[in-house]
Structure 1
Amino acid sequence: MMEVSKVIQDLDTATHNCDQHGEYQSQHVKLRSTQFWTTCPQCADKDNKGDEQKIIDDINAGRRQAVMNNTMQRAAIPPRFMDRRFANYRATCPNSAKALETVREYAENFADSLAAGRSLILMGTVGTGKTHLAASAAHALIAQGYTAVFTSVLSAVRSVKETYGHGATQTERQAINALIAPDLLIIDEVGVQFGSATEEMILFEIINGRYEQMKPTIIISNLAMGPLKEYLGERVFDRLREGGGKAVVFNWDSHRAKAAA
């Protein structure tokens, strides 16, 4: 305590000049092992505020990254497609380049699609990049702050059917609502096998629920237009096309077949 008092008593004051703020009263501080003149108080205050803001920015960045990580985890994008982006999609013909542009524009202008409940159908030949583009859209939307969930028909149906068993942790309605809630739902492997009446009913509940809530859906299928419409049913297909919803036909040769050749 005596040392502190001694330091205070030994303070000398002088008028110094700051290039930014002009004259200020500087104090000559004498400590046991060193001595110095205090700097411009306005500059010091600015530096302190800058340090504080940097800490706040770092905290906010950490929070944003935590939210992003949580959103990515809930998106359930399959590991095989975690690195899929629009930038690494290989367009091999004019039609594939057009498909890329259509899905990219859909993602870039998703606010408009969300406002209109505008969906997208990607259908056609196996191995042409439908899932790649859908996963790219999911990544792009998550980066914009939207929620996106990727599921297959079988996984979606299974998540609902699991509520029927003893000891289920949620109700059927809660399982369906979990698939209605995201800003974008991507349903893959639509029509891999023509399902039971229960499967069709569950799929209708999900798509119709999203339709009523103005929530866009991306459907991915290897079926052609006619069989896909038969599988989904006229009402569901019309709901997906309403509000300017597009059907993109992938009718070029398989990328995977070319890579294996």
Structure 2
Amino acid sequence: MNAHFQFSRFSMSQEVCDMHKVQKLVAGGNLICPMCASEYVNADRSKHQSETNRAVFEKHIAGAMLPDRHAHSSFSNYKTTTQGQANALSQCANFAKRIAEKQNSNFIMVGSTGTGKTHLACATAKNLLKNGLKARYITSEEIAQRIMNAWDKDTKDQSEEAVIYEFAQYDLLIVDEYGLHDREKRTELVHKVLTKRYDCKKPTMLISNFTLKKLRDDLGDRLWSRFQHDGLTVVECNWADARVGGAHV
């Protein structure tokens, strides 16, 4: 938006601005080109908006709780030496684009350790954060523990319902290490969060070392069906562990 000035109270001079070829105005004994003045104010306004956007981004990325190890993980530095890795990268990038365009869908990434699943998940989160959306990274164990903490009367500052509602508000929730939580006591708690996000029409990225079949069995027919309702992308990471031998993912 161009800045608007009230120049009617100024008188016109005979001097012409070299850049804009318009007559300068006399204001307080000074000669001012109205177009130069507008550009100056708009540039200052643009700078202020950039600083505001940066501050918002920094706040959102802090709230995303991305692991320190993946502070610099991005789509551009994910190494692809196999067709499977290239496909995983492409699928994650496309998923981020869909979420940024408000297309609700879910994403599942399964495979053994060291295949770059968390790297790609954090890169997806950063892509959304740069687009002004809110993303949150958390493990399934941490989700269950947060809910269980709400049961503690001595430290209770949120109810179970409030914790679940909080997790349902992010534009994207990344649930990593699904299946490493206590199988007997905590699976139901994690499922409550996944179900709530489905009810709120919010996309979820679920990451697990399980096989796809084991993950599907663990989610159960009802939750698996809900995951597919608005569209589901599944990526199976079946290549070698890149951490072995000092490689990084």
Q: Shorter-chain TM-score category?
A: 0.7 to 0.9
Give 1:134's aligned residue.
121
Q: Using the alignment, how far apart are the partners of 1:258 and 1:172 within structure 2?
A: 43
The 8 Å contact of residues 16 and 26 in structure 1, kept in 2 or not, is answered as no
Identity between Structure 1 and Structure 2 (%): 26
Give 2:207's aligned residue.
220
Q: 2:178 is paired with a residue of what secondary structure?
A: coil
Q: Match for 1:239: what amino acid?
A: R
Does 163-172 or 45-54 show the bigger shift? 45-54
Q: 1:193 to 1:168 in 2, by over 3 A?
A: closer
Matched, 1:21 2:27: no
Offset of 1:191 from its aligned partner? 0.9
Q: 2:174 is paired with a residue of what secondary structure?
A: strand
Offset of 1:126 from its aligned partner? 1.1
Give 1:4's aligned residue.
none
Offset of 1:180 from its aligned partner? 0.5
Deviations 1:4-39 (A, max 9, x none): xxxxxxxxxx973415125x7879x7xxxxxxxx53
The 8 Å contact of residues 85 and 139 in structure 1, kept in 2 or not, is answered as yes
Does 186-195 or 49-58 show the bigger shift? 49-58
Q: 1:174 to 1:251 in 2, by over 3 A?
A: same
- Kindly report the root-mean-square deviation, in angstroms, between the aligned alpha carbons of the 2 structures: 2.3
Give 1:176's aligned residue.
164
Which of 150, 153, 157 matches 1:163? 150
Give 1:80's aligned residue.
69
Structure showing greater Rg: 1
Gap runs ≥5 in structure 2: 1-11
Give 1:192's aligned residue.
180
Q: Using the alignment, how far apart are the partners of 2:83 and 2:146 within structure 1?
A: 39
Deviations 1:207-251 (A, max 9, x none): 111111110000000010122122222222222222220111000
Give 2:84's aligned residue.
95
Give 2:42's aligned residue.
53
Gap runs ≥5 in structure 1: 1-13, 30-37
Q: Using the alignment, how far apart are the partners of 2:25 and 2:199 within structure 1?
A: 69
The 8 Å contact of residues 66 and 137 in structure 2, kept in 1 or not, is answered as yes
Offset of 1:51 from its aligned partner? 2.6
Q: Using the alignment, how far apart are the partners of 2:13 and 2:38 within structure 1?
A: 25
Q: Using the alignment, how far apart are the partners of 1:200 and 1:234 within structure 2?
A: 15
Q: 1:219 is paired with a residue of what secondary structure?
A: strand
Q: Using the alignment, how far apart are the partners of 2:105 and 2:26 within structure 1?
A: 66
Q: 1:193 to 1:63 in 2, by over 3 A?
A: closer
Deviations 1:131-177 (A, max 9, x none): 11111000000111111000001111111111111241111111111
Give 1:110's aligned residue.
99
Which of 194, 202, 205 matches 2:192? 205
Give 2:59's aligned residue.
70
TM-score, normalisation: structure 1: 0.81
Q: Using the alignment, how far apart are the partners of 1:72 and 1:255 within structure 2?
A: 27
Q: 1:127 to 1:170 in 2, by over 3 A?
A: same
Does 180-189 or 236-245 show the bigger shift? 236-245
Give the helix-richer structure, 1 or 2: 1
Q: Using the alignment, how far apart are the partners of 1:258 and 1:225 within structure 2?
A: 27
The 8 Å contact of residues 121 and 240 in structure 1, kept in 2 or not, is answered as no
Give 1:230's aligned residue.
217
